[in-house]
Structure 1
Amino acid sequence: METYDTKSCNDLAKLHYRPIDAALRWCGLIAHEMKILQAAGESQYPPLGSFPQWPCLRTNIERIIDAIETGELPHGRDGKTVIPGDHVAVTRRTIRHSDLKAWMAKHHPDQKPKFLFDDIERTAHPAINADSFRALQADRDALKARIEKAEEWAKVAIAEKKEWIAERSELVARLGAAEPLSTRERNSLHRIIGGLLELVKNPRDGRSDDAAVIRELVENYSDKEGISARKLQEVFPVARRLLSAD
C-alpha cells in the first residue's frame, strides 16, 4: 500500500503571493501570518512600530515592492501576470511562485527561504542551482562508473600478476633442479642467439610471429647444430615465459 509522500509538495508554498505574503514567509513568520495580516488590513505594510521584534518583515516587503516597481520582479493582478508597464492597484498586486524564486536566486543568492527552495537547494552553495546540481550528479555517476571499471581491471591485473609469479617460481624451481647444461647444449643456445642477432640486424617484413622467425632461421642456418624447427619450437615458448616472469 502506498503511503503519503510528504515531499510531494511544500505546505508553505502558494501559486502566487502578495508582497506581504511573500515577505512574512521569507522571514519565517508563517506561524504569525494571521496576526500580521490582520494588522496590515488592506495596506501593503503592517502599521509602523507594530512588530518591532521583526524588523526584517517591513524591510523584505519594501525589497519586493521595489523590485516590482523597478521591473526586476514580474508581477500580476490577482494571480495573473500582466505585461510590463500595465498598472495594477497595490492591493491586487501578486507575484508568481516561480518568478519570486528566480528573482530571489538572482538578487539575494544568500537567502534560501523554505517556501521557495527545497532542502537540497537550501544546503547547496549559492553558485549551484538545480541544473548545476544535476550536472554534478551526472559527473559523479560517470566517475563512479570509471572507478568501478578501474577496480575490475585492477582485479584482473592482480590475478594475472599472481599467475606470472607462480609460473616464474615454477620455472625457477625447474631450473634449480635441472642438471647444468652441457657444452653441446650451451653452444646450441648460443647459435640460436647468434641467428636471432643476424635477423635483428637485417629487419624485413613478414616476421610477424614465431613460425615466421623459426622458418627463416631454419632456411638460413639449418646446417648449424641446434638450429632446427623442433628445437626452436621448444626453446621459444620457454624463453618467452622467462622474459614475462622477470
Structure 2
Amino acid sequence: MYNPKSCNALEKPFYTPLEAALRWCGLIVHEADILARTVGEPIPSVSAFPQWPCLRANAEKIMDAILNNEIPYGRDGKSVCPGEQVNKARLTVRHTDLKAWMAKHYPDQTPAFLFDEIERTTHAKITVEAWQALQAERDALKARLEKAEALYRDKWSKLEAEAKQQAVEPSSKSRNAYLRTIAALGDALIGGGTGQPHTDADAILAALAAKGIAPTLESGTLARYLKQAKDI
C-alpha cells in the first residue's frame, strides 16, 4: 500500500543556499519567482524582497555557516573538500548536513522540509537556552567519564605491575619460609640424623611439626603428591 508519509514534497537531496533559505521561511510557493529574480545568487539583494526580510537573513546565516565550515558544502550536490573554491551559482548543501547544523545551532527552528511531524512536536518545547544547557551538561559528563576512564586505566596498570612483581619476586619473608620448609621436608625424607627416611605422609608432617613448621597440606594431599613423585 502506498504510504504518502514516506516522502516529503519539500525535501531534496541537496539545496542551494537560497533554496534552503526560502524553504526555511515557508516561501516554497514563491520558489520559481524568487529563483528567477536572483539569477543564481546565493543571497538576494537587500531591495529584492522587502516583504520577506527573513529570506535574506536566513540565506546569510547559511552562507556564513558554509564559509566558517559549520556546514559541509559541495558543487551541484557532490561534496568537496573544505576550502575548495566553488562557483556561487553551483554551491550546494546536503539535506542531512543542513538538518544537523540547524538542530545544533537553531533547535527552536524546525522547518517542515527538514523535520517530520514527530520531530517538530518534540523540538517545539525546547528553547535555545535549554538546548545549550543540555549540551553543557553532556560535555561535563563526557569530561568526567573520560577522567574516570583515565584514572581506571592508571590504577589497573599499577595493579598489573604489582601483581607481576609479586609473582616474579616473592618477599624475603616468604622466600625464607619456603626455604625452611624445603630444608625440613628434605631432612624428613632422608631420615635426618636417624638415617631412616620417612615415607609415610603422617610421619613427614609430624617431622616437620617437630621443627616448628606447619605446612597447610593435609596428609592425604601430601600422600598423593608423594605417590606422584615416586611414579615420575
Amino acid at match of 1:57: L
Distance (whole Å) between structure 1 residues aligned to residue 43 and residue 10 of structure 2: 20
Aligned counterpart, 1:35:
33
Aligned counterpart, 2:211:
none
Distance (whole Å) between structure 1 residues aligned to residue 103 and residue 75 of structure 2: 23
Matches within 5 A, 1:114-133: 114-125=112-123, 126=126
Distance (whole Å) between structure 1 residues aligned to residue 49 and residue 120 of structure 2: 27
- 1:49: how far off? 1.5
Aligned counterpart, 1:106:
104
RMSD: 1.8
Deviation per CA, 1:141-165, whole angstroms, max 9, x where unpaired?
xxxxxxxxxxxxxxxxxxxxxxxxx
Are residue 64 (structure 1) and residue 70 (structure 2) matched?
no
Aligned counterpart, 2:76:
78
Distance (whole Å) between structure 2 residues aligned to residue 45 and residue 38 of structure 1: 13
Aligned counterpart, 2:48:
50
**Partner of 2:93: helix, strand, or coil?**
strand
Distance (whole Å) between structure 1 residues aligned to residue 112 and residue 106 of structure 2: 14
* Moved segments of 4+, more than 4 Å: none
**Partner of 2:86: helix, strand, or coil?**
coil
Deviation per CA, 1:106-131, whole angstroms, max 9, x where unpaired?
011110000000000001133899xx
Distance (whole Å) between structure 1 residues aligned to residue 32 and residue 88 of structure 2: 20
- 1:40: how far off? 0.3
- 1:7: how far off? 0.2
Aligned counterpart, 1:20:
18
Distance (whole Å) between structure 1 residues aligned to residue 71 and residue 23 of structure 2: 17
**Partner of 1:124: helix, strand, or coil?**
helix
Q: What is the TM-score when the length of structure 2 is the normalising length?
A: 0.52
Aligned counterpart, 1:223:
none
**Partner of 2:19: helix, strand, or coil?**
helix
Distance (whole Å) between structure 1 residues aligned to residue 45 and residue 105 of structure 2: 27
Q: Point out where structure 2 has 5 or more consecutive residues left out of the alignment.
A: 132-232
* Identity across matched positions, percent: 58
2:45–2:56 contact (8 Å) kept in structure 1: no
- 1:42: how far off? 2.5
**Partner of 1:94: helix, strand, or coil?**
strand
Distance (whole Å) between structure 1 residues aligned to residue 13 and residue 109 of structure 2: 20
Distance (whole Å) between structure 2 residues aligned to residue 64 and residue 43 of structure 1: 13
